[in-house]
Structure 1
């Protein structure tokens, strides 16, 4: 497996020379400065590639090439948006990019309520607190029907938190929920979020799926011609939130996506953390089921709680058997090598990480500290080496 590292380009407080010391060989990055729906010019893509390669890295994967919200809503004349997406794909392929990681989550990206939740022996982690999310939906956003989406424990926690919260607490909660939009230009306040949700009022799961299939039908043929693969990232969290449907949350959802347009170029970013937040998901089993279509792997772990909350665990802790999952990926790599495929090496990256030691002073993108990810990568590297050694003896 090839070791990757997510880098936010000029927005990142961690430099490429620092990342080089991690031992990772591949950079996973994006052009976050370009608004959603616009073409990524080839000269800008080439400049990014040259910057990355000048420090001795490869740039095989873009994370992500965002999809405009109008495409997700199926709203208006979408021809230009699709053409822009295809042109961006062509410009990326011309500069050597092989995989585009993307998601089809409506309005928001990954969602957390706490960005610095304390970890038992020191440091902090990302956390999704069901009670706080319920408080935002019920008491701050006042979304009709929100009470029906939470269990009694979360509803009681929401009431207690809201009654004891200050205006600053509520502002911080809103900022945390918005933090998963690193490349977006929209950051919503409560009124802005209400207006954004209104645009999705008539879009249920079936409608969102129809819009998603249209997107795949528009772009996958171009991907095949260009020799580039699309790899959908699962929903995070893997459940409906804010009344918005989420349609890439389970193994059956993934089966629908990959079957909506049959092609090797229509694939999956296996994110063990996103899928792992759903108690019904067996992550190694999902990896084995869709192994042939895994183009990229985000490896992290989560710890789940009965009320629907979850938090980021250390990479080898939490609820997912990481060694078992890595073994599935290594088996798939060997199968591809035996077939003589040119995509046999799966790029992994240590996804998220605890803020440890001096990480808190760096103020990096939430979930993307230096030391915490170094720990995660070292642990994953050890698991891979151990499994390979066992198989060779």
Structure 2
């Protein structure tokens, strides 16, 4: 057992140059007196002053709480190494000298720990506080659930927050098809829209509050499928091919949740009946499988299809805003926006239903840009859209 431990320790010492090259900014070493004393007493190995043996660990592989607990017996040395070389710093023989030790950049041990603690994920720190004990590694779920459950729209994936000017600057736009794939996507969208408009009464019927809400609930239910399926296919492809994804997955997941939040916003105004829910379930079952297979065959077609679909969505919401402005839906005249909408888009307290639908239209215009852009890119090109943009 002792021989194995010492062999592992020697291997870690030999790997220092490689680790320094992989992590050139900071290399954090823990100089453990307890581990060194154990090696000295067992094998008679002496490395360092006063029988200390240095066990080196990268800070990025240790939770902040573990480092805090280790400070009582260890000295943290911040080593800034821009050249990739494995420099060494001696902390002296006393714990007092170790506490006052500074790295070449002037970083103290407490400053390094504070930086790491700030960078730690909030949920990780919370879990370590609640359940990070050796005696209770699997606490009851009730002890982990927060007392104040966040409301819908408070904790979401990153997404754009629009200004009042941006909401009004949205315009109907169209990208001309170029090539067979683009024309197939364009014609597919218009065939789907023609059939749906005819069956839902959008073309010939009267669009009152009830009909508008029914249409929006159905469309937003369907609109949440492409982003999720695209992200899933790319995720599985990355696992299967053992290659990176080039940043597409997070954008597609953000789009899927954004469309789902549109649904949550509209559902706060109307709850559909059992027959409508059955129709949504059947449509989703068909659409999910078709889109999954299509994305496997041609991601370009799928993103172009969604791009043209979002063009139609902008047209639909533009007509809705025009109907509200013309007073064709008297129930929505100066009606306040829903609570979910105010929390999700950070709308002011005096925001109205019109402001809410204008925010949804801005989201759809953004999806229009994203999907047309992704369709025009190669699958191994890096996604230009950052999180929340």
* TM-score of the pair, normalised by structure 1: 0.24
Question: Normalized per residue, which structure has more strand?
Answer: 1
Question: Normalized per residue, which structure has more helix?
Answer: 2
* TM-score of the pair, normalised by structure 2: 0.24
Q: Which of the two has higher C-alpha Rg? A: 2
